[in-house]
């Protein structure tokens, strides 16, 4: 495969109350095309693997945070790059709280295992 061409991907957005939908581009039959990575039931488990710096946080984790926060889901996020993800998570929490997308009484809590305070 000299052109680094992939195979045909899903170009349809399949949105459910529980889905995470990540837009993508791929190269097929000499053209760049737009498609979707549709994770329709992430409760089955989602495993993100890649080398350091490969874009896991930007391309997978952040869309999960953005979309699940907008759908009112509770999340437990272990932030290896603290406070990077915690800051983004808090932003989406406040934004969706203001838009009324979160359940009443929903709180943002954080535990810092490196600097534990009582």
Q: Are 86 and 77 in contact (CB under 8 A)?
A: yes
The vertex-66 CA angle with 64 and 67, nearest 5°, equals: 70
pLDDT tens profile 32-81: 999 999 999 988 888 899 999 999 999 999 999 999 999 999 888 888 88
The CA distance from 43 to 8, in Å, is 26
Q: Are 90 and 79 in contact (CB under 8 A)?
A: no
The CA distance from 90 to 83, in Å, is 10
Domain residue spans of the chain: 1-42, 53-118
CA 57, chain centre distance (Å): 8
Q: Are 57 and 85 in contact (CB under 8 A)?
A: yes
ω into residue 10 within 30 of 0, thus cis? no
Residue of 117 and 77 predicted with greater confidence? 77
In eight-state DSSP terms, residue 104 is: T
Q: Average pLDDT of the chain?
A: 91
């Amino acid at each position: 495969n000299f052109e680094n061409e992939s195979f045909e991907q899903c170009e349809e957005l399949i949105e459910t109350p529980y889905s995470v939908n990540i837009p993508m581009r791929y190269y097929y039959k000499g053209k760049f095309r737009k498609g979707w990575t549709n994770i329709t039931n992430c409760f089955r488990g989602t495993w993100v693997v890649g080398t350091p710096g490969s874009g896991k946080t930007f391309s997978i984790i952040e869309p999960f945070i953005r979309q699940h926060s907008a759908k009112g889901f509770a999340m437990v996020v272990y932030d290896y790059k603290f406070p990077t993800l915690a800051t983004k998570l808090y932003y989406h929490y406040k934004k969706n709280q203001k838009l009324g997308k979160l359940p009443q009484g929903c709180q943002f809590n954080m535990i810092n295992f490196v600097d534990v305070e009582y």
